[in-house]
């Protein structure tokens, strides 16, 4: 029986979902699930998945806030990574079919859930926290409005993983290339006037893979649900490396 | 992995600077060919008898070697790895690097012998 939500007019769409249960399945497969959605009201992809889960209760995916803040429901929606909770069905759907797969490049735990360990391991390498050498002031470490402005477009990252898992360089070398999300965070702290470990941070990035494996493909920019620009951050780190006297 | 020249930045600069030299050489040669069209054997031989052109071509060949060596190494370390090819990866990569070294080395050396 198809699941419905209360509304006057409904239309049927097909959700083609990637399914894989390591305890049961030898191979992953795509399952078509018919759901009914309102004609005159737009739903988000996450709503469609919730409707599908009413029929296929074993369907698994991560979700939490449902409003693009927590970054839990990153997935591949009709070939493009994005957050299911902020991707309108009307934008994502082609015809009457919506294909949903887990984010590429990371091991699948089950259905749409991926193991993010590799992603967070890379993030950890850039030391995503303020490093200071001076003694802590009595109150906060101050910044001028101009210095603070430099962090706009950097601090907003929610670590959903959409960018890194859309990056071919990350697919090829996920253990060596840090990936756009980690590099955006790296620049966020290099650009921070309060941080005092710029040289160490740059030293850590100056190998053949960590940073320089970025080929400027810009998939990261195209998929970022927060509209951030990791390629620009990577380019800024590169300029900083080239211009330093070493 | 520190890269071919000891750091990622040095590799990056090596590829970009040599690319610029290759581009300038190609533009110069294209301009020369069109400017002297229809080109004869004497004109072509005259061009490469010129010491400036010999040095410029040597610079081009060295840039070609560096650019190709770093570039092909990067391609190999993306595709010919354990992650993508299993245990065969390192062996295929070694063969590929040897082939690249042979081609780049022979082309450069042979060209230098012809030029000088």
Residues composing chain B = 116
Q: Rounded to an integer, what distance in angstroms lies between the CA atom of residue A152 and that of residue A156?
A: 7
Q: Would you say residue A114 has pLDDT above 90?
A: yes
What's residue A178's pLDDT?
A: 98
Report the residue from A169, A209, A211 with minimal CB separation from B1: A209
The enclosing domain of B36 has a CATH number of 1.20.1300.10
Contacts of A212 in chain B (CB under 8 A): 3, 8-9, 11-12
**Is B3 domain-assigned?**
no
Q: Would you say residue A5 has pLDDT above 60?
A: no
Domain count for chain B: 1
Query: pTM for the whole thing?
Result: 0.90
Give, in order, the Cα–Cα distances in Å from A98 to each of A6, A45, B113.
22, 9, 62
pLDDT mean over A18-29: 95
Q: Would you say residue A1 has pLDDT above 70?
A: no
Q: Using 50, 70 and 90 to split pLDDT, how confident is the model at A6?
A: low
Closest residue, chain B, to A170 (C-alpha): B78
Q: Rounded to an integer, what distance in angstroms lies between the CA atom of residue A24 and that of residue A45?
A: 26
Contacts of B83 in chain A (CB under 8 A): 172-175
Closest residue, chain B, to A173 (C-alpha): B78
Backbone angles phi, psi at B89, to 5 degrees: -45, -60
Q: Rounded to an integer, what distance in angstroms lies between the CA atom of residue A101 and that of residue A76?
A: 5
What's residue A39's pLDDT?
A: 87
Closest residue, chain A, to B10 (C-alpha): A242
Q: Using 50, 70 and 90 to split pLDDT, how confident is the model at A3?
A: low
Q: Using 50, 70 and 90 to split pLDDT, how confident is the model at A180?
A: very high
Give the whole-number percent of chain A exceeding pLDDT 70.
96
B7, B13, B72, B89: which to substitute to probe chain A, counting the most A Cβ within 10 Å? B7
Q: Rounded to an integer, what distance in angstroms lies between the CA atom of residue B98 and that of residue B96?
A: 5
**Is B65 domain-assigned?**
yes
B1, B6, B8: which to substitute to probe chain A, counting the most A Cβ within 10 Å? B8
User: pLDDT per position in chain B (116 positions), as tens?
Assistant: 777 888 999 999 999 999 999 999 999 999 999 999 888 999 999 999 999 999 999 999 999 999 999 999 999 999 998 888 889 999 999 999 999 999 999 999 999 999 99
Q: Could you give the count of Cα atoms lying within 13 Å of A90 in the half-sphere of its Cβ?
A: 6
What residue ranges define each of the domains in chain A, with the CATH number in brackets? 10-114 (3.10.20.30), 117-243 (1.10.1060.10)
What's residue B84's pLDDT?
A: 84
Contacts of A174 in chain B (CB under 8 A): 83
Structure ipTM? 0.84
Report CB contact under 8 Å: B78, A209.
Answer: no
Nearest-CA distance B64 → chain A (Å): 20
- Write the pLDDT tens digit of every residue in A203-225: 999 999 999 999 999 999 999 99
- Write the pLDDT tens digit of every residue in A146-165: 999 999 999 999 999 999 99
What's residue A30's pLDDT?
A: 98
The tokens for A141 are 């470490």
Contacts of A213 in chain B (CB under 8 A): 74, 78
Whether the Cβ atoms of residue A132 and residue A182 lie closer than 8 Å to each other: no
**Is B109 domain-assigned?**
yes
Tally A–B CB contacts below 8 A.
49
Q: Tell me which residue range forms the domain holding B71.
A: 8-115
- Write the pLDDT tens digit of every residue in A38-97: 988 899 999 999 999 999 999 999 999 999 999 999 999 999 999 999 999 999 988 889
Whether the Cβ atoms of residue A223 and residue A178 lie closer than 8 Å to each other: no
Distance, C-alpha B54 to centroid of its chain? 16
**Is B88 domain-assigned?**
yes
Average pLDDT, chain A: 94
**Is B69 domain-assigned?**
yes
Q: Rounded to an integer, what distance in angstroms lies between the CA atom of residue A126 and that of residue A233?
A: 13
Report CB contact under 8 Å: A172, B78.
Answer: yes
For B3, the 3-state DSSP assignment is: coil
Residues forming beta bridges with residue A11, ordered by sequence position: A37
Nearest-CA distance A173 → chain B (Å): 7
């Amino acid at each position: 029986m198809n699941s419905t939500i209360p509304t006057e007019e409904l239309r049927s769409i097909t959700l083609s979902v990637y399914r894989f249960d390591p305890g049961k399945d030898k191979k992953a497969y795509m399952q078509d699930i018919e759901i009914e959605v309102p004609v005159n009201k737009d739903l988000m992809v996450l709503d469609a998945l919730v409707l599908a889960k009413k029929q296929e209760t074993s369907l698994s995916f991560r979700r939490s806030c449902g409003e693009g803040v927590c970054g839990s429901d990153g997935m591949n929606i009709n070939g493009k990574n994005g957050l299911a909770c902020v991707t309108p069905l009307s934008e994502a759907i082609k015809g009457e079919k919506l294909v949903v797969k887990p984010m590429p490049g990371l091991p699948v735990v089950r259905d749409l859930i991926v193991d993010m360990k590799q992603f967070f391991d890379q993030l950890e390498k850039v030391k995503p926290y303020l490093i200071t050498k001076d003694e802590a002031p009595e109150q906060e470490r101050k910044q001028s409005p101009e210095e603070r402005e430099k962090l706009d477009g950097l601090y907003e990252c929610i670590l959903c993983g959409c960018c890194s898992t859309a990056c071919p360089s990350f697919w090829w070398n996920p253990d060596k290339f840090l990936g756009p999300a980690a590099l955006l965070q790296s620049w966020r702290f290099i650009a921070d006037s309060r941080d005092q470990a710029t040289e160490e941070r740059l030293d850590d990035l100056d190998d053949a893979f960590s940073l320089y494996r970025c080929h400027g493909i810009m998939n990261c920019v195209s998929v970022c649900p927060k509209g951030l620009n990791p390629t620009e951050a990577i380019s800024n780190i590169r300029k900083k490396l080239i211009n330093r006297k070493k | 992995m520190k890269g071919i020249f000891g750091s990622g930045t040095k590799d990056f600069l090596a590829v970009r600077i040599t690319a610029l030299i290759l581009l300038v050489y190609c533009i110069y040669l294209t301009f020369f060919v069109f400017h002297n069209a229809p080109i004869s054997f004497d004109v072509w031989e005259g061009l490469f008898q010129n010491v400036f052109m010999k040095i410029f071509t040597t610079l081009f060949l060295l840039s070609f070697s560096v650019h190709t060596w770093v570039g092909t190494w990067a391609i190999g370390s993306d595709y010919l790895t354990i992650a993508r090819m299993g245990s065969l990866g390192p062996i295929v990569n070694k063969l590929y690097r040897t082939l690249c070294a042979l081609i780049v080395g022979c082309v450069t050396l042979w060209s230098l012998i012809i030029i000088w």
